[in-house]
Structure 1
Amino acid sequence: MTSAARPGWTAALAVLASVSVVIAILGVAVALFFNPLWIAFEQERSAVPAITGYTPNQVRAVTGSILADLFVGPPEFAVAVDGQPVLDAAERSHMVDVRNVLLPVTILFGAAVAVLAVLLATSGRRPWLWRAIARGSTALTVAGIVVGIALVFFFDAAFLLFHRVFFPQGNFSFDPRTQRLSQLFPDQFWTETSIAIAVVGLLAAIAVSVVARRQAARLQADAL
């Protein structure tokens, strides 16, 4: 590789590192809250047993079945209580769409983590890599502040925009009076979970930015 090509190659890797760290931080923040422990906690806070008429054990069993179909498959979402299906055809169709979005997003997260691992293993002593990580996490910090404000003051609009982007077919609006999906995961659940993800993502981005900038400065000083 010529000396003229190396800066361009390094710049491309730096962009890749910046993008990968954003995806990795977001993925970790989401994973921390989309797990059975947090979901059960939020469902209890949101009074889901009272809303659905199910017992707490039934809520846990139904939610566990839905999550298993979502993350493991097959995506049947045919869980029943007392012989009655929990989700109707429209709700099951939406959950299949959610799984179809989740799978490529999960692959993207895994790829981002793998890219960062390879770059850190091969270029972890290079200041440019840590500067790139700092740039990505700083950009995420700014975006996190904007998103956090939007969630606090314009949650309904932000929630609708998210669904219109990822589910353009429009099958994401359910009647909370009669349809179980919106009863199992009510507005309070989504509001508090979204805010928690935004806060943790923001704090993680700030922490990564600070650590990366310090590491870049230290390596730069050592090279002098």
Structure 2
Amino acid sequence: MPAPSPVARCVDASRVFGAGPAAVVAVHGTTCSITDRARVAVIGDSGSGKSTLLHLLAGLERPTTGTVDWPALDETERTFGIGVIFQSPSLVGPLTVAENTALAAQLAGASDPDDRAGDALDLLGLSDLADRLPEEISGGQAQRVAAARVLAQRPHLILADEPTGQLDHDTGQHLMDVLVQVADRTGAALLVSTHDPAVAQRLVEHWHIRAGRLTLSNPEADR
């Protein structure tokens, strides 16, 4: 039986910002793939290229050279089948927490976006914030609402960029519990960028990135 197609794949993909002497290579020629139900940690310090790699895999950045594709996803699945938890604030200011959480599922045409949003907020212990606006909650709460929005979307691929960066240890571990639980339940692939070893150890595959250069390793070798 042939191996399943990767959910997302980079082949010698690079991303350069700027031109000439001022050019910055954020990601050097990188080849990697995310398989069905994968659990991947991308480990690196701030400025190492983690976010750029994640944006390439999400289709939010075009590679300067090489290719990025999504062999297992058709065009519709490409649009709504990839969910991104951004490191920076991403909530829509005029919408309540509940409305923000339901937004992606609603745009994807789900028949029950409000129910999905309620379930996701409940999983993350955020139900009491449902009627608040983003300006009325903390940065850490906003990060968890952004995660709830992706969970309500129920994508085939979850890409989370430092999702625990603004959270204390226990809250961060709970968020990881929920991300892994939902990915297991829905069959989604999960990739998390992090600089935190406690987050990385929750995932099976470890990719290391330094100065835009990615290396793949066996987590057993990291211990």
* TM-score relative to the length of structure 1: 0.31
Higher Cα radius of gyration? 1
Q: Which has the higher helix share?
A: 1
Which protein has greater RCO, CA pairs closer than 8 Å, 6+ apart? 1
TM-score (norm 2): 0.31
